[in-house]
Structure 1
Amino acid sequence: MNELTTDDQEIAEKIYLIRGHKVMLDKDLANMYGVETKRLIEQVNRNLLRFPAEFMFRLTNEEFEILRSQIATSKRGGRRYAPYVFTEHGILMLSSVLNSRQAITMSIKIIEVFVKFREMLVSQKDLLLKFEQLEKLVIRHDDDIEHIFQALKQLIQQKNEPRQPIGFKLKDNA
């Protein structure tokens, strides 16, 4: 399993889970690519066909407020509009509209982090499956132990009750 390096960790900290998608903010991507955010958005707007809704979307004001509270940014100054966010595929597409060497290099690096996330998720699913199998085994053993205890309790209770003798009985011919 590939571990995240320090550089990867810096990128990973800028990945958020929004609407069930792992995404990155336009501002963070612009910073990594070495361009202004408004220039990045200009290039996206010039190439909108490359960015369908599953590649990029704008946050709602509510989502933006929640995100703002998570990353502890102030309301004063900053943006007037909610940011765009880009999924892994949108980030890949950004490298085709931002043709600088830095943008291409960073896009590759970011995609590698997304791939490592997926690999870590798969390995965690494998561990979860093994834990579930172990839990089923323990539950089955618990059930078996419970049956043994019930049988022992029955034997103990029967021991205290008078038992009929075992053997042949002769009938009285009277």
Structure 2
Amino acid sequence: MQIIKSIESRIYIIRGERVMLDFDLASLYEVETKVLNQAVKRNIKRFPDDFMFRLSPNEWHSMRSQIVTAYEETLNPSSQIVMINQNKRNTIITPFAFTEQGVAMLSGVLKSDKAINMNIAIMRVFVDVRKILLKQSNVNEQLTEIKERIGEHDVQLNELYDAMENLIDEKIAQLKWKDREKIGFKIKE
């Protein structure tokens, strides 16, 4: 369960895609970031732009502040190791971001047992995140439908109230003059 939370905390939304950064993947696979990136570069045909892309300097600057905050909040030893590795990173070169498909492609590039097992865990987390988002989308659709129904019901109830008032007014008008309750001074006979 701890590994799943660790993986979930390393999935970011960049350019509208859920991605994992090269140094986070290297940490999970227990290899150096340089080794991971070399393996990717040797197999670059497996990683088109929709599988992997390099962050722009602005994206990386924005991400660095988020990553530091996230790692400070988790306060577990593996996060501290990642931060130590990040402090050594050449900050001029921005990291690679791997989409779900790119992470899946890494399983064919990194062939150690640790990498294979970790890749399976990462794929399961991506699937779980997708399921959660689909459920949330379904709930939003249901809420929208309920709001529409309530709006329709309000209109229908107002029409019923108007019809009832009209019926009451018509019944009063139909009462005969002598059957109406007399108002004013009453003379005893």
TM over 0.5: yes
**SS in structure 2 of the partner of residue 72 of structure 1:** helix
SS at match of 1:52: coil
Matched, 1:68 2:68: no
- Normalized against structure 1, the TM-score is what? 0.80
Whether 1:53 and 2:49 are equivalent positions in the alignment is yes
| Residue identity in the other structure for 1:16 | Y
Q: Give structure 1 regions of 4+ aligned residues with deviation exceeding 4 angstroms.
A: 73-77, 149-156, 162-166
Q: Which letter maps to 1:69?
A: S
1:86 aligns with 2:82: no
Aligned residues: 159
Asked if residue 136 in structure 1 is aligned to residue 132 in structure 2, the reply is no
Residue type at the aligned position of 1:54: D
| 2:27 pairs with one of 22, 28, 31 | 31
Deviation at 1:148, TM superposition (A): 3.5
In the other structure, the counterpart of 2:16 is 20
Task: Name the residue aligned to 1:101.
Answer: 113
- Shift of residue 147 of structure 1? 2.5
SS in 2 for 1:113: helix
Deviations 1:43-87 (A, max 9, x none): 111000000001000000011111112122799753331100101
Partner-residue secondary structure (3-state), 2:48? coil
* 1:75-133 C-alpha deviation (Å, 9 max, x unpaired): 97533311001011111111111111111110110000001111122222222222222
Which residue of structure 2 aligns with residue 169 of structure 1? none
Q: Structure 1: which 5+ residue stretches go unaligned?
A: 167-174
Q: Which residue does the alignment assign to 1:171?
A: none
* Distance of aligned partners of 1:37 and 1:128 in 2 relative to their CA distance in 1, 3 Å threshold: same
Structure 2: distance between partners of 1:135 and 1:126: 14
CA deviation string 1:120-156 (max 9, x = no partner): 2222222222222211211111112233344466678
Root-mean-square deviation (Å): 2.5
Structure with the higher helix share, 1 or 2: 2
Distance 1:127 1:33, change over 3 A: same
User: What TM-score comes out, normalization by structure 2 length?
Assistant: 0.74
Cα deviation, residue 20, structure 1: 1.0
Match of 2:185 in 1: none
Q: Name the counterpart of 1:172.
A: none
The share of aligned pairs that are identical, in percent, is 40
Q: Any stretches of 5+ residues in structure 2 without a counterpart?
A: 70-82, 177-189
